[in-house]
């Protein structure tokens, strides 16, 4: 597999995981959807691909990145996604905690990311 195709695969996995987090509370509000589309543009996904993934979100499979930086970035994006509506609900927190565990990151790291996100959102 070439470096470019491997990088694209990692970005697709990351994006799929973000969608799973966004839908963890049973709904996808406008701010979450906007964040997903902005993130998709950043990583070079066409709008049609995002629409297709969202339509089939129930079939997504969670995949773990191999490198720690990508795992930390995924957790950070997941925390941002859960807090985009201004608060982190218990179910969203629990999903982020599960995500952190799957990404081999601990609860303290998750709580640190949440704290940083809350401080940044108040600025």
What DSSP string describes 20-54? HHHTTTS---HHHHHHHHHHHHHTT--HHHHHHHH
What is the pLDDT confidence band of residue 6, given thresholds at 50, 70 and 90? Answer: confident
pLDDT at 98 exceeding the cut of 70 = yes
Q: How many residues does the chain have?
A: 123
User: Cα-Cα-Cα-Cα dihedral of 110, 116, 121, 122, to 10°?
Assistant: 130
Domain ranges for the chain = 3-122
- The arrangement of secondary structure in 3-122, i.e. its CATH architecture, is Orthogonal Bundle (1.10)
Cα 18 to Cα 78: distance, rounded to the nearest angstrom: 6
Cα 42 to Cα 109: distance, rounded to the nearest angstrom: 25
What is the pLDDT confidence band of residue 108, given thresholds at 50, 70 and 90? Answer: very high
What is the pLDDT confidence band of residue 2, given thresholds at 50, 70 and 90? Answer: low
Statement: the pTM of the whole predicted model exceeds 0.85: no
């Amino acid at each position: 597999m070439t470096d470019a195709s491997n990088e694209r695969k990692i970005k697709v996995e990351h994006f799929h995981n973000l969608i799973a987090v966004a839908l963890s509370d049973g709904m996808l509000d406008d701010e979450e959807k906007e964040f997903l589309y902005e993130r998709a543009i950043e990583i070079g996904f066409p709008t049609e691909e995002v629409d297709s993934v969202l339509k089939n979100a129930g079939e997504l499979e969670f995949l773990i990145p191999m490198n720690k930086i990508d795992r930390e970035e995924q957790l950070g994006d997941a925390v941002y996604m859960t807090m985009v509506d201004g608060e982190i609900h218990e179910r969203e927190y629990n999903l982020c905690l599960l995500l952190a565990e799957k990404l081999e990151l601990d609860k303290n790291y998750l709580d640190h990311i949440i704290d940083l996100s809350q401080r940044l959102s108040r600025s």
